[in-house]
Amino acid sequence: MALGEMFVLISGGIDLSVGSIVAFTGLLMAYLLSTYNLPWLLALLIVILVAAGIGAFHGFFVSKFSPPLPQTVPAFLVTLGSAMAFRGIAQYWTKGYPIVLSREKFADFFFIGEGNLGIVPIPVIIVLVILGIAFLILNLSIIGRHIYAVGGNLLAAIVTGVKVNRIRILCYVLSTIFSALTGVIITARLNSAYPGVGVGYELEAITSCVLGGVSLIGGEGLPFGVLLGVILVVVIENGLVTMNVSPYLHRIIIGLLLLVAVTADFLKRFRRRT
């Protein structure tokens, strides 16, 4: 999920809908399996296509209204609206109850959340594959250079012929697809889908990105840095649990951590300009 957020941030945007997309796509996956008895690969394909459609809408909206507004304004509006809408859809859909999947019937699907390949958990393998894809796109392709160009200097990117709108749409599509994969993995791991999953995940995703060196202004960031940022956030959260810190304080601490990281990023950029 953080890797998907990374693409949007590097391109100069922001995606506040990732947590709600996790909940919605997890429920959609469970619904397709439990109601229509679809093969889990077919259900996964449908979920990915739906997520891609949501991301394309986000990217289209941002492209349509930038300019006259700075990109972050329409990005904030449309993704915040989507976050509220899809969270509401998830809660209304199930009336707040989880969709429970039968362990005997869907054991092959649960394998992607609970299984191991040798000693390596399947979710870790999925993360490494996504990490490799992100590295290839950003570092070894023209598309990656265009993403950095759009986030780093939008006017220069337009003048040099970069298809800015296509790049923006691609970044938002990747963000929602990676969020959907997160929702699917959580559903497989919990053997159920719950509409309350993913609350506050956007804060953790953005914090992980910023701690990993991704600039909120755009144009900077690397996949491996984001991975280190995620590990740091998880270590901090686990440390708070070990120290018996109240769970109500966890969000406060992560929020303060994000504030410090953002301040450091802005100070770094200010010093470069001066």
3-state secondary structure the chain: CHHHHHHHHHCCCCCCCHHHHHHHHHHHHHHHHHHHCCCHHHHHHHHHHHHHHHHHHHHHHHHHCCCCCCCHHHHHHHHHHHHHHHHHHHHHHHCCCCEECCCCCCHHHHHHHHCEECCEEHHHHHHHHHHHHHHHHHHCCHHHHHHHHHHHCHHHHHHCCCCHHHHHHHHHHHHHHHHHHHHHHHHHHHCEECCCCCCCHHHHHHHHHHHCCCCCCCCCCCHHHHHHHHHHHHHHHHHHHHCCCCHHHHHHHHHHHHHHHHHHHHHHHHHHHC
| Alpha carbons 92 and 41: distance in angstroms, whole number | 26
pLDDT for position 217 = 86
pLDDT for position 248 = 83
Residues 213-250 have pLDDT tens digits of 999 888 899 999 999 999 999 999 999 999 988 888 88
In the chain, the amino acid numbered 123 is P
Residues 182-212 have pLDDT tens digits of 999 999 999 999 999 999 899 899 999 999 9
Segment 133-143 mean pLDDT? 95
pLDDT for position 84 = 95
Tokens of 148: 């950095």
CB 19 within 8 A of CB 202: yes
Is the pLDDT confidence value at 70 over 60? no
pLDDT for position 265 = 77
Is the pLDDT confidence value at 97 over 90? yes
- pLDDT grade for 75, boundaries at 50, 70 and 90: confident
Segment 252-257 mean pLDDT? 87
pLDDT for position 120 = 94
pLDDT for position 208 = 94
Tokens of 119: 């000693």
Kindly report the average pLDDT of the chain as a whole number. Answer: 91
Of residues 154 and 22, the one with the higher pLDDT is 22
Segment 6-20 mean pLDDT? 95
Is the pLDDT confidence value at 99 over 90? yes
| Alpha carbons 6 and 249: distance in angstroms, whole number | 26
